[in-house]
Amino acid sequence: MYAVVGFVILIVMVFGGFALTGGALGPVMAAMPHEMLIIGGAAVGALVTGNSLHGLKAIGGGFKLVFKGPSHTRQDHIDAIVLTTRLMKLLRAEGPVALEAHVTDPANSAIFAEYPRLLANQPLVALICDTLTLIVVSSGTLEVRAVEDVIDNALKTHFHEAHEPQHALQTLADALPALGIVAAVLGVVKTMGSIDQPPAVLGAMIGSALVGTFLGVLLAYGMVGPMAGRLKQVLEADEQIFHAVKQVIIASLHGWPQPLVVESARSGLGQEVRPGLSELLDALRGR
């Protein structure tokens, strides 16, 4: 929502300010379609060249996230901490055998069934189940540090893949000013081919060419660059739930008391999604 508001403000301020200072919008609007064809076509071509089909689909998903915002709600973070805490409590109270059925087949688990939103989050479920399955098959003989290293490696890979669309958008933003210059140079070439025309005609053609440079810079620093920055913020916000799950697992393996386990996971969350400690403890007691 805020991205749309930002784009509206950008367009109104740039073009409105230009018009208020006496600039004629007509020539700019007339030149914009073919300049956008050159710049936009070059940008799309560069994206297709530099990315696989999977990467292009991920970029499309990245655009959606810019406008949609983070995927995980405050309640999702509460549920993730409570779910993981319950599983670790089951492991400690009843042993690996009691936990095995839940983590090897979460789709048919009575515990996971209570959290349908989390169950639909495949990367998060995979983190929980793969880690706990590793603990189950090892019969509790793994060192806590080794488990933490495995989780960190899994998160590193997942986050790296998730950030690829953001890197692609930032690369495109860096390239757009140069693509705008490409469009401007082609306009100058066209103008030089009409050098025998009257000054008024040549002036209009040069102005049209300069619109290419203007659009390249505007798209880079006013639209695509900020979108890449916003996408980074959204992705980092969505990473917090994974870190919370990791903290519950590691703190539980260390044998910390449950309130301390919950607090260690809660305190690492951002203010927008961080629940109160009492709220989390009440959620655990209510199960």
Question: Which residues, 6+ apart, have CB-to-CB distance to 197 below 8 Å?
Answer: 205
Are the C-beta atoms of 270 and 240 separated by less than 8 Å?
yes
Query: What is the pTM (predicted TM-score) of this model?
Result: 0.88
Separation CA 119–CA 108 (nearest Å)? 10
Condensed to tens digits (0 to 9), the pLDDT of residues 263-273 reads 999 999 999 99
Report domain extents, the chain. 32-287
| Token pair 């509460």: residue | 78
pLDDT (tens digit, 0 to 9) for every residue of the chain, 287 residues total? Answer: 788 899 999 999 999 998 998 888 888 888 889 999 999 999 999 999 999 999 999 999 999 999 999 999 999 999 999 999 999 999 988 888 899 999 999 999 999 999 999 999 999 999 999 999 998 988 767 789 999 999 999 999 999 999 999 999 999 999 999 999 999 999 889 888 888 888 888 888 888 889 999 999 999 999 999 999 999 999 999 999 999 999 999 999 999 998 999 999 999 999 999 999 898 888 888 75
Separation CA 249–CA 155 (nearest Å)? 14
| Token pair 């690369």: residue | 171
Are the C-beta atoms of 241 and 76 separated by less than 8 Å?
yes
Condensed to tens digits (0 to 9), the pLDDT of residues 221-270 reads 999 999 999 999 999 999 999 999 999 999 999 999 989 999 999 999 99
Both tokens assigned to 110: 């009575």
Using H for helix, E for strand and C for coil, what is the string for 53-95?
HHHHHHHHHHHHHHHHCCCCCHHHHHHHHHHHHHHHHHHHHHC
DSSP string, 135-193: HHHTTT-S-HHHHHHHHHHHHHHHHHHHTHHHHHHHHHHHHHHHHHHHHHHHHHHHHHT
Separation CA 7–CA 60 (nearest Å)? 18
